[in-house]
């Protein structure tokens, strides 16, 4: 079949570039926290999120990692054993918002925990 416009090479499709970048980081052994931070800082979107599901009997890994960089704000809320993290737009009563953070949400003793670190510490520390 002959077409007037052949498909674009993968390097010109933003989603394909992001996928290839994330796949390379994962192959190189980057953890979920570092991977989300790299995507937030380097992929141009200003935010990255990695979710890993953990089944019973396996070592508990972070359930979610959310990163905000490039001027985006990461907002977090912690109430009665529940933790939430969102990138921008969630500001309101009880929310704590700062720029350039990486938040890791993980279960600990039946309670959701939220740990936040600066994106620079995750990438370069």
Domain boundaries, the chain: 14-124
Cα Rg of the chain, angstroms: 17
DSSP 7: P
Residue 42's pLDDT band (cuts 50, 70, 90): confident
Helices and strands (DSSP H and E) totals, the chain:
3, 7
pLDDT tens-place string over residues 46-88 = 777 777 655 555 655 666 778 887 778 888 877 776 777 777 6
Q: What is the pTM of this model?
A: 0.68
Question: Which is it for strands 73-79 and 101-108: parallel, antiparallel or unpaired?
Answer: unpaired
Contact criterion met (CB below 8 Å) for 38 and 69: no
Closest CA relative to residue 72, chosen from 30, 25, 119, 116: 119
Closest CA relative to residue 102, chosen from 53, 54, 68, 63: 68
Q: Which residue has the tokens 């394909």?
A: 16
Highest averaged pLDDT of the listed ranges 29-38, 62-71, 106-115:
29-38
* Average pLDDT along the chain: 75
């Amino acid at each position: 079949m002959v077409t007037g416009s052949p498909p674009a090479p993968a390097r010109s499709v933003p989603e394909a570039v992001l996928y290839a970048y994330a796949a390379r980081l994962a192959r190189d052994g980057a953890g979920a926290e570092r991977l989300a931070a790299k995507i937030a800082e380097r992929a141009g979107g200003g935010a990255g999120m990695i979710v890993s599901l953990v089944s019973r009997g396996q070592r508990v890994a972070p359930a979610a990692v959310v990163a905000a960089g490039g001027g985006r704000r990461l907002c977090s809320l912690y109430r009665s054993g529940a933790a939430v993290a969102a990138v921008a737009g969630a500001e309101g009563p009880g929310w704590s918002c700062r720029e350039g953070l990486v938040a890791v949400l993980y279960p600990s003793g039946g309670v959701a925990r939220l740990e936040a670190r600066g994106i620079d510490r995750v990438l370069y520390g």
